[in-house]
Amino acid sequence: MFKTIPDNFIIGAASSAWQTEGWKGKKEGQDSYLDTWYKNERHVWHEGYGPGVATNFYERYGEDVAYMKEIGLTHYRTSINWARFFTDYETFEVDEDYAQHIDNVINALIEAGVEPILCLEHYELPTALQEKYDGWSSKKVVELFVGYAEIVFERYADRVKQWFTFNEPIVIQTRVYLDAIRYPHEQNTKKWMQWNHHKVLATAKVVELYHRKNYDGEIGIVLNPEVTYPRSSSQADKKAAEMYDLFYNRVFLDPLVKGAYPEELFLKMAEHDITFDYTQEELDIIRENTVDYLGVNLYFPHRVQAPKYKWNENTPFHPSYYFDSFELPGRRMNKSRGWEIYPQIVYDMGMRLKEEYGNIPWILTENGMGIENEHLFMNEEGVVQDDYRIEYITEHMSCLLDAYEAGSNCRGYMLWAFTDCVSPMNAFKNRYGLVRIDLENNRARSLKKSGFWYKDVISSGRLEVPDVPEYK
């Protein structure tokens, strides 16, 4: 059967600055958090690959934009590298070479008929601000981020009409300060909460700035809420799912869309002595400056159950105090990534945004299939036969179209990623792109089978969906 793609529906792809650009032209003192992590712990990055060269998009963006035009992408989402945009983050001394690069990319996309969507921060916190102010621990960094946004809007908002403040704002502090599994490995749950709050506050302040300046466009944020399912219908399991949702999803969704943190979050923070520092003025700013729209990144479900064992009181508080993870028997898996495949998450999130969050406009800004050793799937002509990616996209896009038909205010689908690119630690281990990056051949580009298929979907305006299999 075929499903029709609505008119003006976004069918695009995404990436980020640090995952593609490389360090060509980067000046002394312009390291981001990711650059510093890579320099200090290169051994944890798969086969030593990292942001140093990445895909060399800084020099080769023209090739990639040409492929975007060939495929027919409606939109391309990437980020501006905050760490590279200035040579001084406090006096806002712009690196004109890098600023010109952003200009060039925007203009090339527009000329190719691809609408740019830009994110102000995709893990690119400047190391200088991390070292001087402890990063997002500081309200000073919030103000510096707003100053950065103001200059970026002045330069590019005439051509870029869709903006995001952050991509997945919860991720860095969760890996570093909550789980302590990434550099610099500091377990500090209260700092985790403080970073969460300051990114919410920074977003509200940038939203206020954007609207006050009357720019012709929209400003939002890209979140990665994990659609959370309880193991069973028991009250204990359902409570576990509610608590996971509170700490990892609602901590951003509620203030950014509804304008206020959940009251239960304040109660739990007080109970565990992890309440972030805030003022009533900050809560007022958050209440008055909710986002225009959301980007939502969805890859896999999260399943939880009630805790099996009593919490070790000598262990610093962690939200897992309230839940244990649960693995569904017989679940479909992307074995390369270790993630469950469950396309229903897209429909369920669409319905949740419709029913609980005022049916806010949203885009599925990331969804994709990372596979290891893709060279094993190449045919005699050297084209990767990634039917597994085509199947994955089809199933998730189909659920997105179902959510749209059911009234969810979804504007489109963006694949992660357009080209193979660097991921934290995994580097190029798992490939996500429509376009292959050949590391053994000077990072040469070539379309995979999915790239040709994506082109057909866009040009035809319809998605072929397999019939529901018969029960056996």
Q: Which of 21, 121, 226, 366 is catalytic?
A: 366
CA proximity to 24, closest of 1, 45, 54: 54
Task: Identify whether the C-beta of residue 279 lies closer than 8 Å to the C-beta of residue 287.
Answer: no
Task: Identify whether the C-beta of residue 79 lies closer than 8 Å to the C-beta of residue 16.
Answer: yes
Q: What are residue 410's phi and psi, to 5 degrees?
A: -95, 135
Task: Identify whether the C-beta of residue 298 lies closer than 8 Å to the C-beta of residue 227.
Answer: yes
CB atoms within 10 A of CB 329: 5
CB atoms within 10 A of CB 5: 21
CB atoms within 10 A of CB 234: 12
Distance CA 457, CA 461 (A): 6
Q: Which two tokens stand for residue 421?
A: 């690119």
143 is catalytic: no
124 is catalytic: no
Q: Which two tokens stand for residue 373?
A: 């050793």
Number of H helices, E strands in the chain: 16, 21
CB-based burial, 73-102: b 16+ in 10 Å, e otherwise = bbbbbbbbbbbbbbbebeeeebbeebbebb
Q: Which of 168, 226, 282, 395 is catalytic?
A: 168
Distance CA 137, CA 149 (A): 19
CB atoms within 10 A of CB 388: 16
Q: Which two tokens stand for residue 260?
A: 């206020």
Q: Which residues are catalytic?
A: 168, 366
